[in-house]
Amino acid sequence: MKIVIINSGSSSIKYQLIEMPAKEVICSGMIDRIGLETSNFSYVTNSVKVEETLPIANHKIGLNKIAQLLMDDEKGVIKSTKEIEAVGHRVVHGGSAFSDTVLITKEVKEEIRQLCSLAPLHNPAHLEGIIVAEEIFSDAKQVAVFDTAFHQTMPAVAYKYAIPNYLLSENKIRAYGFHGTSHKYVSENAIGYLKSINAPHKNIITVHLGNGCSITAVKDGKSVDHSMGFSPSNGLIMGTRAGDIDQSVIFYMVNTLGYSLNDVNTMLNKQSGMLGLTGFSDLRDIQSNAAEGNKECQLALEMNAYRIKKFIGSYAAALNGLDAIVFTAGIGENSAYMRKLVCTDMEYFGLELDDAVNEIRSKEIREINLPQAKAKILVVPTNEEIEIANQVHHLILS
């Protein structure tokens, strides 16, 4: 069964064509920096590698370019879209309507559309991807895999807000959690690795750092707390999102400074975070400028790490222990500098970084802690696409 996986982020698209159940990746690639003049496009098969830098204005243009290459006479891997049996879509927010993987119908698309206001950087891109994929792969079954599903195991003490109860019972206002596909994949792989070396694996904290960032407390393989809540906008500092902020700031901006609610929403989601602090949203740009002495970039990186440290401390308390922390996603896997900032002065939690090993790049699971450290520090490359393919394949066969 050939399955196309489309993983649309707020400023990126990852895609893979996977043969299931063998989990054979026939083709893979990604587009990042969507919306900029310097978008990076990649397309890789066993015999072909294409890398380009070009302007890609939006997700629709990106998805059409991917489809063109998949069926290209010389570089393509399929002759017809009829070869594709299913398309799996990562969808960030499933609200209270979806707690599992589903076939996409008109009603499902409408639910996703209704949830766009809660995930304004993601659900619109997912919906666009679904609509374009329905046109391109018209014979394939379209399947939605929701980021919120993994966090359905959070207890009420973690997901409930201290607001009137009817807002939960009638309006479903609660913490849902996000990046669940990634947190599920890396936590399961981390637990498997720890078991293989006979190391403790009960209490794990997974740290997903990309343009969007989140952190999850995982106990016995289940999500029990998570940094994001009702929408994927709070918690850690992100590329363009502010993360946690005193809600009175919003009222002050509206009532005293004269901002509209729409202005504030746009600012907190698209103009804040690392972009608001530095003028750059991409960590690679921020790190290079920090290395050249840019004080704003240096402070922003320190703020980012400080927020992560605070969550590690609180989650270690919630778990009543810490066996390992796991870094994953674009920044977590590739930025040795951010990992060092986070793990410095964390000996109290048993975290001791091996600076030399931390600098080594690899696509494999690896330890970057000193041998005598009480808690493991792992880098586990995420593969949301394989996780999505597993869930899509299971649904189609069930």
Q: Is 330 annotated as a binding residue?
A: yes
| Nearest residue to 350 (alpha-carbon basis) of 317, 315, 319, 377 | 377
Q: Is 374 annotated as a binding residue?
A: no
Q: Is 283 annotated as a binding residue?
A: yes
Q: Is 208 annotated as a binding residue?
A: yes
47 by DSSP, 3-state: which?
Answer: coil
Residue whose token pair is 């608001």: 276
Q: Is 203 annotated as a binding residue?
A: no
Does residue 73 carry a catalytic annotation? no
How close are the terminal C-alpha atoms of the chain, in Å? 14
Taking the C-alpha atoms of residue 234 and residue 121, their distance in angstroms, rounded to an integer, is 13
Q: Is 331 annotated as a binding residue?
A: yes
Q: Is 82 annotated as a binding residue?
A: no
Asked if residues 261 and 254 have their Cβ atoms less than 8 Å apart, the reply is: yes
Q: Could you tell me how far CA 250 lies from the centroid of its own chain? A: 26
Q: Could you tell me how far CA 382 lies from the centroid of its own chain? A: 9
The one catalytic residue among 32, 147, 225, 323: 147
Asked if residues 2 and 17 have their Cβ atoms less than 8 Å apart, the reply is: yes
User: Any alpha helices (H) in the chain, and if so which ranges?
Assistant: 59-70, 106-114, 123-136, 156-159, 166-169, 180-196, 247-255, 261-270, 273-278, 283-291, 295-319, 329-334, 336-343, 355-358, 384-397
Radius of gyration of the chain (CA): 21
| Nearest residue to 84 (alpha-carbon basis) of 28, 23, 18 | 18
Asked if residues 178 and 123 have their Cβ atoms less than 8 Å apart, the reply is: no
Distances (CA, A) of 226 to 235, 271, 385: 8, 24, 21
Taking the C-alpha atoms of residue 331 and residue 328, their distance in angstroms, rounded to an integer, is 7
Q: Is 269 annotated as a binding residue?
A: no
Q: Is 174 annotated as a binding residue?
A: no
Q: Is 211 annotated as a binding residue?
A: yes
Q: Is 284 annotated as a binding residue?
A: yes
Q: Is 209 annotated as a binding residue?
A: yes
Query: Which residues on adjacent β-strands are paired with residue 86?
Result: 3, 141
Q: Is 333 annotated as a binding residue?
A: yes
Query: Which residues on adjacent β-strands are paired with residue 378?
Result: 326, 367
Binding residues for ATP: 14, 208-212, 282-284, 330-334
Binding residues: 7, 14, 90, 208-212, 282-284, 330-334, 384
Binding region for Mg(2+): 7, 384
Q: Which residues are catalytic?
A: 147
Q: Could you tell me which residues are annotated as the binding site for substrate?
A: 90
